[in-house]
Amino acid sequence: KLIDNLPLFVNDTVFSDLYRFRVLYNDMKVLTLDGSFSYQNGEKLKIDLMGEYNNYSSDIVGDLYQYAWHLPTYAFTLRGNYNLFEKIYLKADFVLKGGRMSPADLFDSDATTAKSDLGIMADANLHAEYRYSKRLSAFIQFNNLAAQRYQKWYGYPVQGFQVLGGITFGF
């Protein structure tokens, strides 16, 4: 793909002490290889495995435009859905992303490189839903089961373990 003016978010070091972002627009060449495998057993069980590799390059010279900041080089997702007695629906997913770079060291005079590796982002989630009828259901969702404090963007860690529950009503 050739992407004109791809918005990339970098921490603002001039006005905010790294707590705000500014947008850099960069023309990028992106080579993407992706694939998926799926297994489905009727309406009862479905399992998906997806993978993606991205190679970003830019013709603009300069440290600030060298990388696709905060975008993953690779991503894998494993997810599954299970239908129990047409009333209880279970979902689980696991997401792994890596190769994300941040320009955090770009303005640090002691840094030996202009980039920082944000590390691997691993996230697991569970969801359970009870469907009382076609119109009424209740659910509970558990996010970030391992309570990872990975950084989505430099200086911005995600929330730890989260629980969300509720009821749904269709009109």
Distance from C-alpha of 36 to C-alpha of 95, rounded to nearest angstrom: 14
pLDDT band per the 50, 70, 90 thresholds, residue 109: low
* Cβ atoms of 121 and 97 closer than 8 Å: yes
Residue 108 has a CB neighbour count (10 Å cut-off) of: 12
| CA dihedral for 94, 118, 155, 33, sign (positive or negative) | negative
User: Is 90 exceeded by the pLDDT of residue 59?
Assistant: no
11-52 pLDDT per residue, tens? 776 676 666 778 888 888 999 999 999 999 998 999 999 999
| 16: its two tokens | 């905010």
Amino acid at 74: Y
Residue 66's H or E segment, with its range, is none
User: Is 90 exceeded by the pLDDT of residue 95?
Assistant: yes
Distance from C-alpha of 140 to C-alpha of 26, rounded to nearest angstrom: 41
Q: What is the pLDDT of residue 62?
A: 65
Residue 10 backbone dihedrals phi, psi, to 5 degrees: -125, 150
